[in-house]
Structure 1
Amino acid sequence: MLKRNIASMENAYIQNQKVKEKVIAKRRKLLFRRLALFTVIAGVITYIMISTYITRNHQLEAKKAEKEKLDHTVAAINKQQALLKNQIVKLNDNDYIAKLARSEYFLSEKGEIIFNIPDSNSKKKNKQEDVSY
């Protein structure tokens, strides 16, 4: 093969073309860098948004579960409050207090004899306890 020595022309047009090519290459390089930076920033922002969404979703589910638990507690407390109010009304009645004293504490009036008859349910429980030994 023959080796050719070709000298490039050194005129103003060629020098202008080389400068334009360098400028275009430099702009292309800067454009690529800007796009890469934008992509990285967009990715980071997307990651932060998704992780925040997932975290908030878990927190919301935990709060809903806690609210449901507290609603059940409030319902139980309201039921207990109603029972206690009913008992307060009953305890203001003298006849109820006398009946309660007779049944629970075996108090009697003069000349009254108290007989304690066990319930049939308590007999069954006692039999079951004897069998379990």
Structure 2
Amino acid sequence: MEKKKQPVITKLNNQYIEEKTLESIRKRKRIKFVKRRTTLIAICGLFFVSLLVTPLFNNYQQLQESNVEKTEAKEKLEALELHQEELNYYVGLLENEDYVLKLARSEYYLTKDNEIVFSFPEDKNPDYAEVAEGQSDTDK
């Protein structure tokens, strides 16, 4: 390895040089202090901003969850309203005496005088039975 050469500059020891040297040292210390203070202020500022932003972010997440729940509730409400309309339709049919007689004859095999009823296993359920089954599905 090579030896480092000593600088060939000689330093003058007078009052002006000492003042300038002290001034430059003070200036470096001052710059260092300002940088540290600025960094501390920036860190404190970020801390306080994060304290303010965190509740806003939490509120935004809750708002999104509420919107999802709201849309689900609206869809469920629409389905229930449609089901209610079907039930009201069948209630109206049950208020009709002719329909009730026809229903009693088909469901309970009631007959008029001199009438014969044949029952086949592949007979499908009447419409009101499907609606009643649908009601138990929506209640779950």
2:134 matched to which residue of 1? none
Gaps of 5+ in 2: 1-12, 126-140
17-26 or 62-71: which moved more?
17-26
Alignment of 1:1-133 (within 5 A): 28=31, 30-44=33-47, 45-46=49-50, 49=53, 52-53=56-57, 55-119=58-122
21-30 or 60-69: which moved more?
21-30
Question: How many angstroms does 1:32 deviate by?
Answer: 3.1
| TM-score (structure 1 length as normaliser) | 0.60
Between the two proteins, the alignment pairs up a number of residues equal to: 116
Q: 1:37/1:58 Cα in 2 relative to 1: closer, same or farther (>3 Å)?
A: same
Question: How many angstroms does 1:120 deviate by?
Answer: 7.3
CA distance in 2, matches of 1:100, 1:41: 80
1:61-99, CA deviations, whole angstroms, 9 ceiling, x for partnerless residues?
A: 322221221111011101011001101111110000001
Gaps of 5+ in 1: 1-7, 123-133
CA distance in 2, matches of 1:116, 1:67: 48
Question: How many angstroms does 1:101 deviate by?
Answer: 0.7
Greater length-normalized contact order (CA 8 Å, ≥ 6 residues apart): 2
3-state DSSP of counterpart to 1:113:
coil
Percent of aligned pairs with the same amino acid: 26
| TM-score (structure 2 length as normaliser) | 0.57
Taking only aligned residues, the RMSD between alpha carbons, in angstroms, comes to 3.8
40-49 or 75-84: which moved more?
40-49
